[in-house]
Chains A and B, each alone.
Chain A
Amino acid sequence: EVQLVESGGGLVKPGGSLRLSCAASGFIFSDYAMDWVRQAPGKGLEWVSSISGTSTSIYYTDSVKGRFTISRDNAKNSLFLQMNSLRAEDTAVYYCARGGSGSYSWQDYWGQGTLVTVSS
């Protein structure tokens, strides 16, 4: 059974940093691209970042470029999102999701999400 479990969310002040983690199980982690998708309270879904299975291709939405860094550790079946210079508008539930084997794909499995609140 595929499982994705996010952790690392919490309350942080504007300008602060957080590192989100996603522990994956039930599939060959390195065979799949992985994505972070966020959802601000009461709002829709927003794609944040994607990383290919071998980490050779990495993409970010414009609003987080230069502030967020996606990475993965295939030996530990883990996905990460390092978030720096956080802003109030980064407040959201952050979901880890499994992509496909290609550059861009749908997401067939999602974690339950971890809440990030940026507030003074």
Chain B
Amino acid sequence: DIVLTQSPDSLAVSLGERATINCKSSQSLLYSSNNKNYLAWYQQKPGQPPRLLIYWASTRESGVPDRFSGSGSGTDFTLTISSLQAEDVAVYYCQQFYTTLFFGGGTKVEIK
């Protein structure tokens, strides 16, 4: 099984500052035949279902603000919130879909 490890478990960032979340995979998520990384990012606010933010590691879902960006390839990936807003307080999960689905443990983002 491909396991994802997120870091940190939580972080507190001032409004307007950058938040960076890391996701490390136990195996490469880069599929050589199409050169795509099989990784997605989700946001989950309390009492709500997850919301898709990013797929193919760096493609922003329609309607997602451009302050959210995804980067990385192979086994190391990053979700960046360039300028944290109050509405971004949530838990963020990475997910691999290279094989059967697996989610990282989540990173809680709070306001400092």
Contact = CB atoms under 8 A, between A and B. Distances in A.
Interface of A: 35, 37, 44-47, 50, 59, 61, 95, 97, 104-108, 110-113
A46 to B, nearest CB: 7
B103 A45 contact: yes
Nearest to B97: A104
A113 B44 CA distance: 13
Contacts of A61: 100
A45 B101 CA distance: 11
A59 B100 CA distance: 7
Given A44-B105, A45-B106, A47-B103, A110 B97 contact: no
Interface of B: 38, 40, 42, 44, 49-52, 55, 61, 91, 93, 95, 97-106
Contacts of A104: 38, 97-101
Contacts, number: 52
Contacts of A105: 97
Q: Which 8 A-B pairs have the closest CB atoms?
A: A110-B49, A47-B101, A106-B40, A104-B97, A45-B103, A106-B55, A44-B106, A108-B52
Contacts of B50: 37, 45, 95, 107, 110
A111 B100 contact: no
Given A44-B103, A106-B95, 11 more contacts: A37-B50, A37-B101, A45-B103, A46-B103, A47-B101, A47-B102, A50-B101, A59-B100, A95-B50, A106-B55, A108-B52
Contacts of B52: 106-108
Contacts of B100: 47, 50, 59, 61, 104
Contacts of A106: 40, 52, 55, 95, 97
A104 B29 CA distance: 12
Query: Which residue of B40, B100, B102, B103 has the most chain A CB atoms within 10 A of its CB atom?
Result: B100
A51 to B, nearest CB: 12
A46 B50 CA distance: 12
